């Protein structure tokens, strides 16, 4: 069992916690237990770690893992950060940004289950956004165009159409990459 | 210097109780997750690499352009603080409890008014937070957006066209944004309608948590409503969704307060003044009891039944009566019982100053 607080070291201390009149067991590594006692603060479960347990369970399922397989260093490895599939399954955390394309096949069903969608539609960073930013701009302009046409403002519509063509051409030429 | 002020002063901008709908919506918070391209996420970093991330952020925040846009900000290492000081930052909601584990590898950037804070090497390389009073999610997003843009001039973010901002946990990928509003809902609880309302929230893709996040009791009738989905919705859509739902809850709470006042005025008045009296004269107060009394007195303030006490004082006290701040004030670790005595004394003193 891993420590409920840091999730990184094995739990060796088993403490009884009494809060709000309810007794509960908590499992900590020695370092965390010492830190908590030294501080004298009430212990509350780390929310993210609970979520991780839950996610690890889901990932385990999506990645077709075996529940009893607790050996982390198994399965495919991300070429960039070297994290093993087994580690991701166990901790519910990816290793680096490149893990996303690398484990994409297995992640997409999970993302769909968590978010209901699999495509980002929000903010695009100004500098590193590159093509994504241009594509987003084209989409914005297209709705402006539609609106201009419905208002029968053909002058603006022509202008917007030219802008769209220009950006699309630069995208074809590999712009923003 | 700002860090010392942050730790010595229990006050923070979000406590001012002066935003829109501040009689029910205590504060609005937005956090966005950002990671640096080409560097493994924090949980895989050793001490040296974690320090590299901190260094990169340090360089980004000392940039003149950033300080002119973002304001007076300062980076502090968690290892430079005592355990009590670190805990005070958690209690003031400026950092998450998760930043405390493996603190040797972590840092925080704080703006002097504490409206902006950036956690470094929490679950993601950067977690940018904006926390302001009242229901002002759009304003919080505008601020975060600005900070984010100016940091991005120097930092290369891990971003994908398809999946957006890449995060350690797949629950945050996309916008990387978690927006939340802290609501005070005592009347809905009194008329036993809270369960139904909170249940409905979970059905529209939002989450409800207590004061200190998931798994914590709803101390002081305070509830955090936040989004669950981060992928496939724009930041504006996420915000609009929360604002729409939160406005509904506010309307319900308001209706419950009005109904109580109209039909059971003596019950409300008794509750409020009992709480006032206890806070003013009690000699032993546990944290839980104090939070309950604050909630009841707060209701009286919000309904205009009590004058002379400002909700700002109660907000500040919720931080000051936590074990960390009490330890700091007394200069000593205390046993729980002594702490309860000290807590009551502190509250008595504050209330005796009031007219
Ligand atoms: Zn631990
Ligand atoms: Zn990787």
The pLDDT value recorded for residue A37 is 58
Predicted-complex ipTM score:
0.87
Question: Residue A111: which of B157, B231, B333 has the nearest Cβ?
Answer: B231
Look at residue B351 and tell me whether its pLDDT is greater than 90. yes
The pLDDT value recorded for residue A46 is 34
Mark yes or no for CB contact B323/A41 under 8 Å: yes
Question: Residue B102: which of A6, A44, A47 has the nearest Cβ?
Answer: A6
B293-303 mean pLDDT? 96
Give per-residue pLDDT as tens, B244-292: 999 999 999 999 999 999 998 999 999 999 999 999 999 999 999 999 9
Give per-residue pLDDT as tens, B52-91: 999 999 999 988 888 888 888 999 999 999 999 999 999 9
Give per-residue pLDDT as tens, A78-130: 999 999 988 888 888 999 999 999 999 989 999 998 899 999 999 999 876 66
Sign of the dihedral defined by the CA atoms of residues B66, B158, B145, B81, in that order: negative
The pLDDT value recorded for residue A24 is 64
Strand B164-165 with B159-160, pairing: antiparallel
Q: Rounded CA gap, A121 and A131, in Å? A: 14
CB B35 within 8 A of CB B126: yes
Give per-residue pLDDT as tens, B305-343: 998 999 999 999 999 999 999 999 988 788 888 899 999
Question: Residue B175: which of A83, A123, A135 has the nearest Cβ?
Answer: A123
Angle at B159 between CA B156 and CA B163, to 5 degrees: 175
The pLDDT value recorded for residue A74 is 77
Residue partners of B252: CB distance under 8 A and separation at least 6: B188, B193, B197
The ligand minimizing its distance to the Cα of A98 is: 2
In angstroms, the separation between the Cα of residue B32 and the nearest Cα of chain A is 11
Residue partners of B264: CB distance under 8 A and separation at least 6: none
Question: How distant is the alpha carbon of residue A137 from its chain centre?
Answer: 25
In angstroms, the separation between the Cα of residue A153 and the nearest Cα of chain B is 28
Residue whose entry in the numeric block shows the structure tokens 């005595």: B341
The pLDDT value recorded for residue B2 is 74
CB A148 within 8 A of CB B180: no
The pLDDT value recorded for residue A127 is 78
The ligand minimizing its distance to the Cα of B101 is: 1
Mark yes or no for CB contact B101/A5 under 8 Å: yes
* Intervals of chain A under pLDDT 70: 14-24, 34-71, 128-132, 174-177
With a pLDDT cut of 70, the percent of chain B lying above it is: 97
Strand B107-111 with B73-77, pairing: antiparallel
In angstroms, the separation between the Cα of residue B259 and the nearest Cα of chain A is 31
* Burial class of residue A176, CB neighbours in 10 A (0-12, 13-18, 19+): middle
Host H or E run for residue A52: helix A47-62
The pLDDT value recorded for residue B13 is 94
Give per-residue pLDDT as tens, B80-120: 999 999 999 999 999 999 999 999 999 999 999 999 999 99
| Chain B interface test: which of A72, A115, A131 (most B C-beta within 10 Å) | A115
Phi, psi of B108, deg, nearest 5: -140, 140
Mark yes or no for CB contact B161/A131 under 8 Å: yes
What's the 3-state SS for B4-42?
HHHHHCCCCHHHHCCCCCCCCEEEEEEEEEECECCCCCH
Host H or E run for residue B184: strand B177-184
Interface of A with B in 140-169 (CB under 8 A): none
């Amino acid at each position: 069992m891993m420590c409920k607080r840091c999730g990184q070291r094995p739990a060796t201390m088993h403490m009884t916690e009494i809060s709000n009149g309810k007794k509960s067991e908590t499992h900590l590594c020695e370092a965390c237990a010492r830190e908590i006692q030294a501080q004298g603060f009430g212990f509350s479960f780390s929310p993210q770690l609970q979520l991780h347990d839950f996610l690890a369970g889901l990932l385990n399922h999506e990645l077709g893992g075996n529940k009893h397989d607790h050996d982390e260093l198994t399965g495919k490895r991300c070429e960039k950060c070297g994290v093993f599939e087994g580690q991701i399954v166990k901790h519910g955390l990816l290793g680096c940004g490149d893990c996303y394309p690398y484990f994409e096949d297995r992640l997409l069903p999970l993302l769909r289950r968590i978010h209901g969608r699999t495509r980002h539609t929000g903010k695009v960073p100004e500098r590193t956004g590159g093509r994504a930013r241009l594509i987003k701009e084209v989409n914005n302009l297209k709705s402006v165009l539609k609106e201009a046409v419905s208002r029968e403002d053909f002058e603006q519509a022509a202008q917007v159409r030219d802008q769209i063509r220009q950006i699309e051409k630069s995208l074809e030429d590999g712009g923003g990459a | 210097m700002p860090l010392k002020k942050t730790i010595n002063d229990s006050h923070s901008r979000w406590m001012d109780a002066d935003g829109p709908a501040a009689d029910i919506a205590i504060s609005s918070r937005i956090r966005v997750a950002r990671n640096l391209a080409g560097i493994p996420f924090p949980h895989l970093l050793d001490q040296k690499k974690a320090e590299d991330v901190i260094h990169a952020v340090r360089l980004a925040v000392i940039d003149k352009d950033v300080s002119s846009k973002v304001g007076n900000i300062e980076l502090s290492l968690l290892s430079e603080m005592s355990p009590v000081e670190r805990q005070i930052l958690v209690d003031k909601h400026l950092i998450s409890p998760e930043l405390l584990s493996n603190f040797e590898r972590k840092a925080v950037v704080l703006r002097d008014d504490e409206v902006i804070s950036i956690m470094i090497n929490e679950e993601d390389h950067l977690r940018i937070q904006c926390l302001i009073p009242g229901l002002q999610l759009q304003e919080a997003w505008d601020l975060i957006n600005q900070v984010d843009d100016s940091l991005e001039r120097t930092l290369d973010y891990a971003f994908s066209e398809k999946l957006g901002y890449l995060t350690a946990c797949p629950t945050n990928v996309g916008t990387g944004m978690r927006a939340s509003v802290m609501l005070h809902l005592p009347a809905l609880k009194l008329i036993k309608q809270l369960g139904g309302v909170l249940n409905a929230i979970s059905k529209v893709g939002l989450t409800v948590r207590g004061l200190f996040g998931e798994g914590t009791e709803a101390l002081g009738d305070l509830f955090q409503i936040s989004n669950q989905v981060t992928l496939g919705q724009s930041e504006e859509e996420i915000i609009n969704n929360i604002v729409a739902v939160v406005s509904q809850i506010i309307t319900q709470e308001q209706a419950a307060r009005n109904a109580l006042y109209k039909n059971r005025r003596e019950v409300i008045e008794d509750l409020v003044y009992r709480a006032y009296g206890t806070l003013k004269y009690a000699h032993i107060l546990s944290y839980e009891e104090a939070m309950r009394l604050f909630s009841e007195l707060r209701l009286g303030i919000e309904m205009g039944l009590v004058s002379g006490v400002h909700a700002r004082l109660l907000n500040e006290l919720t931080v000051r009566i936590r074990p960390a701040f009490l330890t700091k004030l007394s200069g000593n670790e205390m046993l729980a019982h002594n702490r309860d005595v000290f807590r009551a004394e502190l509250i008595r003193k504050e209330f005796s100053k009031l007219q």
